[in-house]
Amino acid sequence: MTHFKTEELDSRKGVYVKTFGCQVNEYDTEKMLMLLSEEYKRVLTPEEAEVILINTCSVREKAEHKLHGLLGRLKPLKETNPELVIGVGGCVAQQEGNNIIKRNKLVDFVVGTHNISLVPSLVKNSKIDRTPQVAVDYRDEWEELPDRFDAMPDESYIVKSTFNSSVRALVAIQRGCDKMCTYCVVPGTRGKQVSRDPKEILKEINLKVRMGAREVLLLGQTVNSYGVDLNPRVKFSKLIQEISEIPNVKRIRFISPHPAEVKKDFIDLYKKIPSLCPHIHLPLQSGSDRILGLMNRSYKTSRYLQIVEELKEKCPNIAITTDIIIGFPTETEEDFLETLEVVKKVKYHSVFSFKYSKRPKTSALEFHDDQEIQEEIKQNRLVRLQELVGEHALSHNKSYLNKEIEVLVESTLENIYKGRSQENVHVEFFKDEGQTLDIKMGDIIKVKVLRASPHGLKGTC
Q: Which residues bind ligand SAH (CB under 6 A)?
A: 59-60, 183-184, 186, 221, 256, 258, 283, 285, 323, 325, 354, 356-357, 359
Is 91 near ligand F3S (CB under 6 A)? Answer: yes
Here the contacts of 428-437 (C-beta below 8 Å, separation 24 or greater) are 428/456, 428/457, 428/458, 428/459, 429/458, 429/459, 429/460, 429/461, 430/460, 430/461, 431/460, 431/461, 432/460, 432/461, 435/460, 435/461, 437/461
> Smaller CB distance to ligand SF4: residue 365 or 437?
365
Q: Which does 19 bind (CB under 5 to 8 A by kind): ligand SAH, ligand SF4, ligand F3S, none?
A: none
- Interface with ligand F3S (CB under 6 A), residue total 13
Order of all β-strands in the sheet with 350-355 = 279-281, 319-326, 350-355
- List C-alpha distances in Å: 347 to 81, 290, 351, 397, 422: 53, 22, 10, 12, 18
Among 12, 60, 179, 396, binds ligand SF4 (CB under 6 A): 179
Nearer to ligand SAH, 325 or 452 (CB): 325
Q: Which does 21 bind (CB under 5 to 8 A by kind): ligand SAH, ligand F3S, ligand SF4, none?
A: ligand F3S
187 binds, among ligand F3S, ligand SF4, ligand SAH, none (CB under 5 to 8 A by kind): ligand SF4
Report 394-433 residues binding ligand F3S (CB under 6 A).
Answer: none
Cβ(213)–Cβ(169) below 8 Å: yes
CB 444 within 8 A of CB 406: yes
Q: Which does 46 bind (CB under 5 to 8 A by kind): ligand F3S, ligand SAH, ligand SF4, none?
A: none
Side chain identity, residue 397: N
Nearer to ligand F3S, 29 or 397 (CB): 29
Does 177 sit near ligand SF4 (CB under 6 A)? yes
Q: CB of residue 139 vs ligand SF4: minimum separation in angstroms? A: 18
- Give 85's strand partners: 51
CA 45, 48, 52, 54: dihedral to nearest 10 degrees?
0
Name the minimum Å distance from CB 222 to ligand SF4: 5
* Cα–Cα distance measured from residue 355 to residue 435, given in angstroms and rounded to the nearest whole number: 47
Round to whole Å and give the CA distance between 311 and 72.
47
Residues numbered 252-311 forming contacts with ligand SF4, rule: CB under 6 A: 258
Rule CB under 6 A: choose which of 164, 166, 174, 189 binds ligand F3S: 189
Residues near ligand SF4 (CB under 6 A): 177, 179-181, 184, 186-187, 221-222, 258
